[in-house]
Amino acid sequence: MKKKIDETQIYEKHYEEILQKVKNDPYAQSLGIQLTKFEAGLAEATLEVGSHMVNAYGTVHGAVIYALADHAFSVACNAYGKTSLGLSTTIQFMESAKPGDRIVVRATEIKRNFRTGFYRIDVFHEQNLIATMEAVSYRKDHYFIELDELE
């Protein structure tokens, strides 16, 4: 009988290794996304909106907000060192942001099992909720960190 893996212990033991992997996302870095909080099943990040990130109406392009939300989702669902991929997302845009604004995202794990994870991701400008996303991850049979035999 296989021993059940305690993924919280994996997160705690391999925190630095996992953090280095999830925070070094080249696309997020190219946008200027800064990871500000990383916990098991939780991630927060910020983005200073540049003038090149707007649509024809002068507000932040939805793709930029989505990229920020998706990055936080990716960090939260990969926090246990197990390779996890986005399976589906649904985003609602409620308010706009403008160049110079600092937008903040928080991804929270709602439930996780062996194969899937469910997340809520909220995007804020100051205290205003500007977008919210629900996301489902697919958890592969692969850990992207080196585990000991006993884990």
% residues pLDDT > 70 (the chain)? 96
Confidence bin at 147 (pLDDT 50/70/90): confident
Q: What is the pLDDT of residue 151?
A: 54
At residue 14 the predicted structure's pLDDT band, cuts being 50, 70 and 90, is: very high
Sheet holding 128-143, edge to edge: 34-39, 42-48, 102-112, 116-125, 128-143, 82-93
Answer whether CATH 3.50.50.60 is correct for domain 7-143: no
pLDDT tens per residue, range 101-144: 999 999 999 999 999 999 999 999 999 999 999 999 999 999 99
Residue range 15-22: average pLDDT? 94
| Residue 2 pLDDT grade (very low, low, confident, very high; cuts 50, 70, 90) | low
Domain coordinates of the chain in residue numbers? 7-143
Beta strand pairing status for 82-93 and 42-48? Answer: unpaired
